[in-house]
Structure 1
Amino acid sequence: MKKLLRLSSLLVTAVLLAFSSQKSYATHMQGGDMTYACIAPNTFVVTMKLYSDCSGVTPPSSASLNAKSTGCNPGRNIPMTKIGATRIGDPYCPSIPKTCASNQLVNYQEVVFKATVTFSATEAQCADWIFSWSECCRPSTANLNGQGTLYLEAYVKLFTPNLPGATPTNIVHNNSSPEFNNLNIPIPFVCYNQEVRYSMNALEFDGDSVSYELDSSMESATLPATYNPIGSGPNGTIINPAPQPPFNTIPPGQPGSNPQIAIFGGGVTTNYSPTYPLSSYNVTWTQGQQVVFAQPYFFLDPQTGEIAFRPSEYYPNTASNLGKNKYAVVVKIKEWRKINGVMVNVGYIRRDIMFIIEDCGGNTPPVTDPRPVPPIFGTVIGDTVYKVQTCTSTRITVDFKDQNANDSVTVFFNPGAGSTLPNGSFQVFDNGTSKTRAVINITPLPSDIGRVFLIPVRLEDNSCPLKGVSNEVIKIEVISNNRVDILDTVQTICLGESLPITANLMRPDSILGDTASYRYQWEAAPGLNPADQKKKNIVVTPTQDTWYRVTVRNASLNGCFDYDSILVKVNPIPVINDIKVAYGPNKENKQHIVYGRSAQINVNLSKVDTGFTYSWSPGRDLSDSTVMNPIASPLKTTKYTLTVKSADGQCKATKSVDVIVGPFFLPNVITPNGDKLNDVFEYVGIQPNTSLKIFSRWGVLIKEYSSYDNSFGGEGVSDGTYYYIMQEPNGGKSYKGWFEIVRD
């Protein structure tokens, strides 16, 4: 897109002055909407969002909601609470201050109110309720007469009485209305003489069907606004802003003028209306032809809620309070719920929108540019509509582009946009660059045939001062697929197990609907009972990896068949015969590890497979917890559990073993008095054949043993403190310390 910042500084100043001159001196209520959420039976939280003109009066700080059931209950007023601070609009580029004042650029501010409405038992006897709010006044607009009251309403049906075939006869709905994406503000700035796409971005969370229709602006529940006569441009014509030679852009009536002109064709009405609320025409400019026809063009897609038009009138340098470039548009969004085969309108909401037409200085909004989809997967219709087939994974890539390849495009979307797609996802890549794109993955099932999935997106470029904005909806329709998917591709079992296999016709209706009759033929294979070869469901017991192939034929249509196959992989089942601990020698001659020593764990399997994996738990104090025979070095008795798994982890066996750790003790006092308690210097938990040297406190060797046998009882020495050195054999551990001899 052409950035206005690329204009000369003088021209930029002129543009800003033109924007700032459009200030309003009148009133303020530009638009709004009202939604509701059922939080409990007959209890609703109603949310109202109001949008006021920054150059008007201060938005209200309080509001009163009216709830009424016409013909059943006179209703009542409920105070509404303002939620959060007033939010200032952000339609301009970052270099333009985000302000809200009468002497600044045209802007809006948002204020939000909420109220909780609980219907009493008497009120709950009335089925149909209208929530409403109104306040004077709207700004002046080009399509509405005067500056009437802004009236907002939402409808909720508490129950459907006397529904045929229903039990009970009154069906309670507990309905919540659709909600609007916070990025989609109903005060869009749109470019004169450029294609506009504006989506409602309404999100429906109850699973109801939603339809969209244009509706009249209202001043009260029963008073529609009066629409002005249609402005038709100079002398009822449209001048081509980019004519081809020999035509030029010199205004009519001036010397050298030779414009290319479009005149209005059939279908033009004299007044604006709810279905044609602003001047918008489609013109096909023909080279070499000076006069062509223009046709009215203002379209709302009733299924997606996307509005498409091309503003054909713009009045430069006019004050905002005159409303010459403002148009009020109302869209009603209805919810439909199928109950006992009957489609019931369970509620609706209305959105009051204020379109503001601006001269964007040649800048055009971003557009979607879909990449082709292979015909075997789906088709692309226009820019945003896709038809995809069932039982096939389809990838859709949408580029978001600008006419100027260097301009960046930022996409705003609902973070959960991909969650509604069957087996699908929605991701945006390189957002905020000139290469922004979205990738959509979807794998619809047969049950999705006929369903339509909508992904609203908001596109913004980085033009300045006014950003180019486009609100669009990517629409995905699911159609039937003439290909039958039968089986999964790979299954794994353990040796000795059986596997049931089903020739599952994912798309039987793609051949002959519900009346189709099918024949099955399985190829002979090990593990398949020959008597089962013509069955839909089989059970196989292979002893090795085996392919099973089936052909499915339609019994009524020759040549209509499909086939598929499945690989059944067979994994050996590990069998742990025994686990033993290789305890070393110890003085006590017991089955335990000498404290501080190690022992190898030895595992005996019926069969060792190279694909087996091993896992010991706990893994601490093991040389390697992932090998078959680790070395254990615990400091206390520990139970280790081994899990042996096949290569794919499907088959496993477990067994445990206790690794026992012996005690450790060296005395620091002996009492050789004959009571058989501590009479000798006795150690525990040290290897046999350990040498011992005993020294006096002055370092004199008084006793020496090459293989100490726990027999020293202080013979030949007096009471006192003595020191020792113990050395295990073969360069083992040494121990140094002291002990006392006490005989009394």
Structure 2
Amino acid sequence: MKLKLILFFLFGLLCFSPQTSEASHGMGGEITWRCQPNGQFVFQMKFYRDCNGINCPSGPLNMSVTNHPTVSSIQLTNTVNNDISPAGCSTCLGQGPGTVQECIFESAPVTLSGTPPAGGWIFDWNSCCRSPSITNLINPGSQSFQLRAVMYAYNGQNTNPCYDSSPRFSERPSTILCTGFPFEYNNIAFDPELDSLVYSWAPALDANTGGVTPLAYTPGYTPQSPLPSATQNPMNVGAVLDPQTGIVSYTSFTSGYFATVVQVDAYKCGQLVASIFREINVVLLGGAGCQLQGSGLTNLPPLVTAPFPDSTGQFTLFNDTVCAGDTVTFFMSATDPDWDPAVGGLQTVTMLGAGPQFVNFTDWPTTGCMNPPCAFTNPALPTSAPFGTGVNFEWITSCAHLDFSQGCFSTGSDYTFLIRAQDNFCDAPAVNFSTVTITVLAPEELDSTTIRCVDVLPNGDVNLTWTNPIDPYGSWLNYQIETSPTGGAPWTPLDSVLVQAQTTYTHVGANAQNNQIYYRMYVRSGCDSSLVSTYSNVASTILLDVVNPGNFTADLSWNPVHAPLISGSSSWYHIWQELPANSGNWLFVDSTQNTTFTDTLN
């Protein structure tokens, strides 16, 4: 089974000031923005630092804006600093190896009027002094770095009021990784409007406000191949970034510090509307720092079970496809047989989750997740236990999980859930990242209904009765009823029934005691109301024709409700006579399976 890891960042020596900030031991970051209900933007910058360096910049910081006609900078204020060091190891306060702090800066709500040009509006924050230890850049200690993001136009719309948020990352960066076995990692980007996301590598940039100045890479490395490959060691497998899922996979037997940049582009109805960049330094370690005490063996990540079976019935898949309305359930477990005397024997395995659909009222205080209904696990994540642990996952999907943004309906949306299993080895816990992808498709059209009964009332009104079709996806919207005087075109819309459980309807004013009326129905369903079932059977009122041949008999003829008769209906017609007329005194005359009858008059 593939083992999966996380990337670590390490920047160099940086100093800071309120304008162009400079800091020591910067480790990377990203810039994103949110579109607020009031039509303004709020920008956020995350800056990651090595806790062995100076503190987070106190701010305020100025983020540069390029290509906008009136706004040249946006002020960012430090809102919160989080210790994201490996759990159970050193803390940022203790400044142990591998300790990391996340410094979050946000702007006040800001109005951006106008339409971005072809090159977009560029938002960037520059800082000096990369680490001189970075392996894949030429003269890194004399280079600066640039965090950036780009906002593009959509259909030429003015961004005041705003209509689009950038993608964001669900997964925080982690710290140190060990070499010598296959790794996978996922940044887990998501878009609040469910825009399509595409991942790619991007170059690390030198500090150049509004410009693009790619840094020179050491021979054997490029922006698209930033980690060790077979060029450095024939046993290495170069890093591959999946453009759809965002999974980064590689195998490295080469240690070092490596600058990497992951770009995420958001497409709304096929148009590029945003690009965000996460710049991080991957720190790959080998040797004693990754070996278990006593045995000297390399500490390996926990083993994780795949949640879905393949065509042979073996549980090897991490992706599934469902229709909106389906419930997704699966079980995942993680075990770690490594024996580490440093922690008293068996290691403790912790499972954590990341992804915007996991229930999380801290990040989503109103809705609980990006797009309710939310996914949850039992027991709730995180959960820990010696040797291994496991969780049951459940997610009820709905039409809300399909993309309707900007009037562009998507027939399918991908949702990514990251299950992280890690041991308590210090200072570099071994981590296994499992990316579970659920593709939610628009439901199929529902079957049509069947008209079971057409009952003409004494005043000529008509009662219709029909069956209720099975609705496995909860996508039913309404019943549509049409009428025709001939049973063929033209058909005239009569009414809509908006209650799914309702199976009867009264056609008031039908005058069916004097005219034959044909009825048919169809079911409208689908997440965007576009699905229309086939038409139901055609059913007619019974119109009785009585002829007096003058021989003390009455010749009766009528039409069937449906030809052939509806399955399950009686084949017998029952004839009643009101005597005297208009008395309300109805007498049973006879029954027949024909559509004609001769009654002898007394």
Fold conserved between structures, TM > 0.5: yes
CA gap of 1:57–1:399, structure 2 versus 1, over 3 A, is same
Cα deviation for residue 194 of structure 1 reads: 2.2
Question: For residue 267 of structure 2, what is the amino acid of its counterpart?
Answer: W
1:479-628 to structure 2, matched below 5 A, reads 500-503=466-469
Question: Which residue does the alignment assign to 1:328?
Answer: 259
Cα deviation for residue 336 of structure 1 reads: 1.2
Question: Which residue does the alignment assign to 1:175?
Answer: 164
Question: Which residue does the alignment assign to 1:307?
Answer: 248
1:212-291 to structure 2, matched below 5 A, reads 212-219=199-206, 220=208, 221-229=211-219, 271-280=220-229
8 Å contact kept, 2:349–2:421 = no
Taking the aligned partners of 1:395 and 1:469, their CA distance within structure 2 comes to: 24
Deviation per CA, 1:228-278, whole angstroms, max 9, x where unpaired? Answer: 12xxxxxxxxxxxxxxxxxxxxxxxxxxxxxxxxxxxxxxxxx21111111
Taking the aligned partners of 2:38 and 2:264, their CA distance within structure 1 comes to: 23
Choose which of 73, 76, 81 in structure 2 pairs with 1:80.
76
Deviation per CA, 1:349-396, whole angstroms, max 9, x where unpaired? Answer: 111112111232222223431244496xx9888542223467765532
8 Å contact kept, 1:130–1:155 = yes
Question: Which residue does the alignment assign to 1:136?
Answer: 128
CA gap of 1:200–1:394, structure 2 versus 1, over 3 A, is closer
Taking the aligned partners of 1:468 and 1:282, their CA distance within structure 2 comes to: 26
Secondary structure of the residue that 1:370 maps to in structure 2? coil
CA gap of 1:502–1:282, structure 2 versus 1, over 3 A, is farther
Question: Which residue does the alignment assign to 1:245?
Answer: none
Question: For residue 305 of structure 1, what is the amino acid of its counterpart?
Answer: G
Taking the aligned partners of 2:441 and 2:111, their CA distance within structure 1 comes to: 44
Taking the aligned partners of 1:422 and 1:282, their CA distance within structure 2 comes to: 47
CA gap of 1:403–1:69, structure 2 versus 1, over 3 A, is same
Question: Which residue does the alignment assign to 1:185?
Answer: 172
Taking the aligned partners of 1:210 and 1:354, their CA distance within structure 2 comes to: 23
Taking the aligned partners of 2:231 and 2:396, their CA distance within structure 1 comes to: 35
Which is worse superposed, 357-366 or 271-280? 357-366
Question: For residue 169 of structure 2, what is the amino acid of its counterpart?
Answer: F
Question: Which residue does the alignment assign to 1:206?
Answer: 193
CA gap of 1:500–1:198, structure 2 versus 1, over 3 A, is same
Question: Which residue does the alignment assign to 1:454?
Answer: 416
CA gap of 1:415–1:486, structure 2 versus 1, over 3 A, is same
1:383-532 to structure 2, matched below 5 A, reads 383-388=317-322, 393-404=327-338, 407-414=348-355, 416-417=357-358, 425-429=375-379, 431-433=383-385, 434-442=388-396, 450-478=412-440, 500-503=466-469
Taking the aligned partners of 1:388 and 1:126, their CA distance within structure 2 comes to: 37
Taking the aligned partners of 2:304 and 2:149, their CA distance within structure 1 comes to: 33
8 Å contact kept, 2:228–2:236 = no
Choose which of 300, 311, 316 in structure 2 pairs with 1:364.
300
Question: Which residue does the alignment assign to 1:197?
Answer: 184
8 Å contact kept, 1:156–1:175 = no
Does residue 156 of structure 1 match 2:180?
Answer: no
Secondary structure of the residue that 2:194 maps to in structure 1? coil
Cα deviation for residue 119 of structure 1 reads: 4.3
8 Å contact kept, 2:302–2:349 = no
Cα deviation for residue 200 of structure 1 reads: 1.2
8 Å contact kept, 2:65–2:74 = no
Question: For residue 258 of structure 2, what is the amino acid of its counterpart?
Answer: Y
CA gap of 1:426–1:223, structure 2 versus 1, over 3 A, is same
8 Å contact kept, 1:215–1:275 = yes
Taking the aligned partners of 2:92 and 2:303, their CA distance within structure 1 comes to: 26
8 Å contact kept, 1:143–1:328 = yes
Taking the aligned partners of 1:295 and 1:402, their CA distance within structure 2 comes to: 25
Question: For residue 175 of structure 1, what is the amino acid of its counterpart?
Answer: D
Choose which of 338, 342, 350 in structure 1 pairs with 2:277.
350
CA gap of 1:385–1:422, structure 2 versus 1, over 3 A, is farther
Larger Rg: 1
Taking the aligned partners of 1:93 and 1:178, their CA distance within structure 2 comes to: 31
8 Å contact kept, 2:180–2:252 = yes
Question: Which residue does the alignment assign to 1:337?
Answer: 268
Question: Which residue does the alignment assign to 1:64?
Answer: 61
Taking the aligned partners of 1:43 and 1:113, their CA distance within structure 2 comes to: 17
Q: Which consecutive unaligned segments of at least 5 residues does structure 2 have?
A: 1-9, 15-23, 292-297, 339-345, 360-368, 403-409, 451-462, 474-503, 507-515, 524-534, 538-566, 569-602
8 Å contact kept, 2:65–2:121 = yes
8 Å contact kept, 2:237–2:250 = no
Deviation per CA, 1:66-124, whole angstroms, max 9, x where unpaired? Answer: 44343x6385233321223x434422524x454354xx424322222222363465xx3
Question: For residue 432 of structure 1, what is the amino acid of its counterpart?
Answer: S
Question: Which residue does the alignment assign to 1:12?
Answer: none
Does residue 29 of structure 1 match 2:18?
Answer: no
Taking only aligned residues, the RMSD between alpha carbons, in angstroms, comes to 4.7
8 Å contact kept, 2:12–2:130 = no
Deviation per CA, 1:548-603, whole angstroms, max 9, x where unpaired? Answer: xxx999xxxxxxxxxx99xxxxxxxxxxxxxxxxxxxxxxxxxxxxxxxxxxxxxx
TM-score, normalization by structure 1: 0.48
8 Å contact kept, 2:327–2:394 = no
Taking the aligned partners of 1:185 and 1:435, their CA distance within structure 2 comes to: 22
Taking the aligned partners of 1:106 and 1:443, their CA distance within structure 2 comes to: 39
Does residue 91 of structure 1 match 2:86?
Answer: yes
Q: Which consecutive unaligned segments of at least 5 residues does structure 1 have?
A: 1-21, 162-167, 230-270, 284-291, 315-324, 489-496, 508-526, 539-550, 554-563, 566-744
Question: Which residue does the alignment assign to 2:106?
Answer: 114
Cα deviation for residue 534 of structure 1 reads: 11
Taking the aligned partners of 2:166 and 2:213, their CA distance within structure 1 comes to: 24
Deviation per CA, 1:169-201, whole angstroms, max 9, x where unpaired? Answer: 9997522112223xx333532221122222112
TM-score, normalization by structure 2: 0.58
Does residue 54 of structure 1 match 2:47?
Answer: no
How many equivalent residue pairs?
417
Question: For residue 154 of structure 1, what is the amino acid of its counterpart?
Answer: A
Taking the aligned partners of 2:263 and 2:167, their CA distance within structure 1 comes to: 11
8 Å contact kept, 2:98–2:175 = no
Secondary structure of the residue that 2:222 maps to in structure 1? coil
Cα deviation for residue 499 of structure 1 reads: 6.1
Secondary structure of the residue that 2:436 maps to in structure 1? strand
Taking the aligned partners of 2:425 and 2:317, their CA distance within structure 1 comes to: 23
Taking the aligned partners of 1:23 and 1:449, their CA distance within structure 2 comes to: 42
Question: For residue 103 of structure 2, what is the amino acid of its counterpart?
Answer: V
Does residue 39 of structure 1 match 2:36?
Answer: yes
Taking the aligned partners of 1:41 and 1:483, their CA distance within structure 2 comes to: 37
8 Å contact kept, 1:25–1:55 = no
Taking the aligned partners of 2:428 and 2:443, their CA distance within structure 1 comes to: 46
Deviation per CA, 1:684-715, whole angstroms, max 9, x where unpaired? Answer: xxxxxxxxxxxxxxxxxxxxxxxxxxxxxxxx
Structure number with the bigger relative contact order (C-alpha 8 A, sep ≥ 6) is: 2
CA gap of 1:379–1:299, structure 2 versus 1, over 3 A, is farther
Taking the aligned partners of 2:186 and 2:347, their CA distance within structure 1 comes to: 26
Question: For residue 254 of structure 2, what is the amino acid of its counterpart?
Answer: E
